Amino acid sequence: LYYCITNNYLYLSIDKDHANDTHSIWDMSNTSSASNQYAIQLSPGGCLDQNLAKDNITLPNVLLIGVQKSGTTSLAMWLKQVGGVCMSEVQPGEPSFYEKEAHYFSHGHSVENHIYDLDHAQIYARRFAHCCTEQNTALSNVLALDATPYTVLFPKRVRSTFDSVDLTGELAKRVKLIIILREPISRELSAYNHYAFNCREYLQYGRKYVDEHNYTHFRSCSAKVWNSEMKRMKNFSEFIDDITLKNARFIPEPDPLVGSSRNMNSCLYADFLREWFSIFDREQILVLSQEELVRDEGSFLNRVHSFLGLSSSIENFSLHHTNSKDDGHKVEAILCSDEEKLDQVFDPLNEDLYRLLEEYPGPPMEQRPFQKFVKPNCTVEND
């Protein structure tokens, strides 16, 4: 398989003589508007298929559902800047990252006070109303993205929301779902560094930092990486004992119309995917590898391009990597004793994931077989 460019549009060809050609990658300089990125398409569904929904409300038609610390921000920014994808409208008083992630489906993540019915769906849809203007209201090629990584925990909330505005289920059948999976131990270490950085920022700058960066950062600090008894930051070994291992158990998702919470580790990939596969058609779900994103951006982005039906030049583009916070205290390698402890939990879960993806293959552009995770290097503890 190889890709070629004709008149700035991407085509897929099969040629044995070119099977080993290096993939080209996108050119970020081509950042024209969405109307120049897509071919004109008219559909009875209209912009964001609003003609299928009650009161013509506009739900996003692309959900980047997770997982956290796997490259979701980098991909979301590429989709916005290169793909011309529309994103959530930030509301007054909200932090700027709500443009990328609206946190609707993860609302009430640990609080039992939010249900997913038509009334709440209408509030959520207002964030994407600006994506449909008078000029494009009849077009079916508009893409609107919510890239909240915690959405992976809540497939029932997603389905309930879409079905609340379209009882036929047709709207839910049209949404595109993307998930990026990362080697679990590396993801846990990245999450720890993320929480620890935010906590140190709070300790240094105090209330001003909380007000400017959203209070949830301090809540994460106090709950995940701050040892309240010792009045100090937890190390990574303490983090995995207190947070990772305690949450490494499957809890079925509660009824989305009841509003119960669900707290569990995001690395239980096979368990989550089984839920998504049972609620949405497998062809709607693109499973990606964070390791491929790091190793071969071109192939990774080509999969996304094909799945979403984008048309764009792909020359000399380098994905902009985000969330590279480092204040000199970042943990680069874990202890081998900690890795062994985590292996006992994640090794069987990873094998379960590989079997599941082999048994339930996804859309044709998805990587097959899914490449097994490569574990990070560890360091031996000093005596």
| Residue 275: partners with Cβ closer than 8 Å, 6 or more residues away | 155, 156, 253
pLDDT at 257: 87
Q: How confident is the model at residue 170 (pLDDT cuts 50, 70, 90)?
A: very high
pLDDT at 31: 31
Average pLDDT over residues 79-88: 89
Does the pLDDT value for residue 45 go beyond 90? no
Query: When comparing pLDDT for 194 and 282, which is higher?
Result: 282
Lowest mean pLDDT of 90-94, 198-202, 218-222, 330-334, name the range. 218-222
Average pLDDT over residues 36-56: 68
Q: How far, in Å, CA of 357 to CA of 368, rounded? A: 9
Q: How far, in Å, CA of 367 to CA of 300, rounded? A: 9
pLDDT at 22: 32
> How many percent of the chain have pLDDT more than 90?
58
Q: Which residues of 65-97 are buried (b: 16+ CB within 10 A; e: fewer)?
A: bbbbbbbbbbbbbbbbebbbbbbbeeeeeeeeb
Maximum mean pLDDT: which of 197-211, 266-280, 302-316: 266-280
pLDDT in tens, 251-285: 999 899 887 788 889 899 999 999 999 999 999 99
pLDDT in tens, 277-293: 999 999 999 999 999 99
Average pLDDT over residues 100-120: 78
Lowest mean pLDDT of 9-13, 72-76, 280-284, name the range. 9-13
| Residue 74: partners with Cβ closer than 8 Å, 6 or more residues away | 293, 319, 320, 321, 322
Q: How confident is the model at residue 173 (pLDDT cuts 50, 70, 90)?
A: very high
Q: How many CB atoms lie within 10 A of CB 271?
A: 18
Maximum mean pLDDT: which of 112-116, 155-159, 200-204: 155-159
C-alpha to C-alpha distances, 194 to 103, 223, 324, nearest whole angstrom: 18, 13, 9
Average pLDDT over residues 105-126: 79
Query: When comparing pLDDT for 383 and 144, which is higher?
Result: 144
pTM, 2 dp: 0.83
The chain-wide mean pLDDT, for the chain, equals: 81
Q: Is beta strand 232-233 parallel, antiparallel or unpaired with respect to 226-227?
A: antiparallel
Average pLDDT over residues 56-77: 95
Query: When comparing pLDDT for 1 and 296, which is higher?
Result: 296
Q: How many CB atoms lie within 10 A of CB 61?
A: 25
Q: Which residues pair with 86 in a beta bridge?
A: 144
Average pLDDT over residues 19-34: 32
Average pLDDT over residues 363-383: 91
Token reading at 195: 């929480």
Nearest to 71 by CA among 30, 108, 32, 100: 100
Q: How confident is the model at residue 38 (pLDDT cuts 50, 70, 90)?
A: very low
For 177, how many CA atoms within 13 A lie in the half-sphere containing its CB? Answer: 25
Lowest mean pLDDT of 25-34, 74-83, 372-381, name the range. 25-34
Q: How far, in Å, CA of 4 to CA of 13, rounded? A: 7
Q: How far, in Å, CA of 334 to CA of 356, rounded? A: 29
Phi, psi dihedral angles at 264 (to 5 degrees): -160, 165
Does the pLDDT value for residue 48 go beyond 50? yes
pLDDT at 210: 56
pLDDT at 311: 66
